[in-house]
Amino acid sequence: MGDLTRLTAAELAAKVHAREVTAVEVAQAHLDRIAAVDGRVHAFLHVDHEGALASARAVDEALDAGQAPASPLAGVPLALKDVFTTRDMPTTCGSKMLEGWVPPYDATVTRRLREAGVVILGKTNMDEFAMGSSTENSAYGPTRNPWDLDRIPGGSGGGSSAALAAFEAPLAIGTDTGGSIRQPGAVTGTVGAKPTYGGVSRYGLVAFSSSLDQGGPCGRTVLDTALLHEVIAGYDPLDSTSIDAPVPPVVAAAREGAAGDLAGVRVGVVREFAGEGYQPGVLAAFHAAVEQLRALGAEVVEVSCPNFTYALPAYYLIAPSECSSNLARFDAMRYGLRVGDDGSRSAEEVMALTREAGFGPEVKRRIMIGTYALSSGYYDAYYGQAQKVRTLISRDFAAAFERVDVLVSPTTPTTAFRIGERADDPMAMYLSDLCTIPSNLAGNASMSVPCGLAEEDGLPVGLQIMAPAMQDHRMYRVAAAYEVARDAGAGRLSDRVPEVGA
């Protein structure tokens, strides 16, 4: 039957639903692949062999009984970022604070996956509490980029992106607060979409920055990503910011786009995202992608979004502020780690000792930055001003989307950097999120699709496509059209990854 791990999610689903292979065989093939390569990649923090095979068996039994598949992805394996709660697996958020914690409830995303018959293989590594751009901030050690094991797979969702690139799973779930789905997608040659804020429920997604956090789908192809998007998206009364509206028709858009015609689509190139700090090979691949869009019939214009320059500083005030409040819940009393409770120390002392021992340096830095930005005397100059900049960024988007249907830019200014290269320089690390942050602040939809390899290092580059809120389907159409054109000559880009450890 060939190597099942090389197939797309859509191909696997078709084979399972046609009874050409069983869901158990598909799950076992991916579990075998994980066993073979994850010692080197370290994409997973937890692999649930028995649970995965049991849910695959349930899919097979339902099909045996003549039932229709529970969803278009029933029987397809998936890697779940370890920030979504799971009743049957630990949920650590990459932190010592939650080591071994098994939540008493499932996240809505987890529940929807299970109901759709998607087979959850395990939980993927991440920067601690999703704070980082390299997965080096995980308390359980870094994940390695399958394109070059000495390099980072992006972050915070580096476990999910690496699992895709290493063929350990055809689908993955990420979360994107400042780029944590899109930047890992870009540097591993995989697809990642941040849906419109409110499009996918945050219930059971451990909070980092609640006004920015957004779960979303990851895959190796645009269609697979769209299929997963429709499984996890939709209104959830358990999330107060969930949008009560129909899910944008992203699968239909991906299929339409695959026909390869972008006539009538207006594409805006963001002028501010180029120049100093951008790797030449990244810009070259990006410009070639823009020319490809033009060749597909799109009308390409340059668009200026002047306040995007201030998105990075605004984000690094707003996100830490919300983080300092959200992470106050880790108080050593109700769940998670407790340190120093020797009978003599007070709750306050135990709390401070626990948080000192349980949090890593980046989490501590952000908690302190947020505490500073929210304190009286600094609030107006920092947090208040950042919120005003947030308004201006939304206005830039609104003005741009008057003129164009989608905006494009490189997803991140460079290809994957080496592990350790930026670890001691927080500001250098933060620059990874330069192009992705505006869509988090404004809440609109945005995705990354691979656009070739940089000429100087042969590493993947991402094309970011941004669409207005609840117009997620627009970006999928453009991404799918581009993907078909990109692969017309050289074949599927994700297949060009070197064999891990070879």
Partner 1 sequence: MPAISRDEVAHLARLARLAVTDEELDVFAGQLDVILRSVASVGEVAADDIPPTSHAVPLTNVFRADEVRPGLNQQQALSGAPEAEDGRFRVPRILGEEQ
Question: Of 36 and 335, which has the nearer Cβ to partner 1?
Answer: 335
- Residues 344, 237 contacting (CB under 8 angstroms): no
Dihedral over Cα of 128, 133, 135, 137: its sign: negative
218: helix, strand or coil: strand
N residues, the chain: 502
Catalytic residue among 15, 81, 96, 194: 81
- Residues 296, 481 contacting (CB under 8 angstroms): yes
Angle 137-449-476 from CA coordinates, rounded to 5°: 120
Q: Is 156 labeled as catalytic in the residue annotation?
A: yes
Q: What burial class does residue 273 get, using C-beta atoms within 10 Å of its C-beta: 0-12 exposed, 13-18 middle, 19+ buried?
A: buried
CB of residue 274 vs partner 1: minimum separation in angstroms?
A: 19
Tell me how crowded residue 427 is: count the other CB atoms within 10 A of its CB.
9
Catalytic residue among 95, 133, 180, 321: 180
The secondary structure of 277-298 as a DSSP string is TS-HHHHHHHHHHHHHHHHTT-
Question: Of 25 and 372, which has the nearer Cβ to partner 1?
Answer: 372
CB of residue 439 vs partner 1: minimum separation in angstroms?
A: 9
Angle 344-348-350 from CA coordinates, rounded to 5°: 55
The secondary structure of 27-46 as a DSSP string is HHHHHHHHHHHHHHH--EEE
CB of residue 32 vs partner 1: minimum separation in angstroms?
A: 33
CB of residue 359 vs partner 1: minimum separation in angstroms?
A: 7
Starting at the edge strand that comes first in sequence, how are the strands of the sheet with 460-467 ordered? 44-47, 119-124, 77-81, 171-175, 215-219, 191-194, 445-453, 460-467, 406-410, 266-270, 299-303
CB of residue 495 vs partner 1: minimum separation in angstroms?
A: 37
Q: Is 209 labeled as catalytic in the residue annotation?
A: no
CB of residue 306 vs partner 1: minimum separation in angstroms?
A: 10
Q: What torsion do the CA atoms of 383, 389, 395, 397 make, to the nearest 10 degrees?
A: -100
CB of residue 254 vs partner 1: minimum separation in angstroms?
A: 25
Instruction: Give the whole-angstrom CA distance, residue 156 versus residue 360.
Output: 14
Who's near 68: CB < 8 A, 6+ residues apart?
A: none
Could you tell me where the DSSP H helices lie in 130-271? 158-165, 182-188, 222-232, 250-257
Question: Of 444 and 464, which has the nearer Cβ to partner 1?
Answer: 444
Q: Give me the residues that bind partner 1 (CB under 8 A), please.
A: 101-105, 197-198, 211, 237, 240-241, 243, 307, 310, 313-314, 316-317, 324, 331-338, 341, 343, 345-353, 355-356, 359, 361, 364-365, 367-369, 371-372, 375, 381-382, 384-392, 394, 426-427, 430, 441-444, 469
Question: Of 372 and 485, which has the nearer Cβ to partner 1?
Answer: 372
With helix as H, strand as E and coil as C, how does 8-22 read? CHHHHHHHHHCCCCC
Question: Of 147 and 203, which has the nearer Cβ to partner 1?
Answer: 203
Catalytic residue among 55, 138, 156, 201: 156
Q: Is 81 labeled as catalytic in the residue annotation?
A: yes
- For 431, the token pair is 């620059």
Question: Of 324 and 411, which has the nearer Cβ to partner 1?
Answer: 324
Question: Of 169 and 332, which has the nearer Cβ to partner 1?
Answer: 332
Name the residues annotated as catalytic.
81, 156, 180
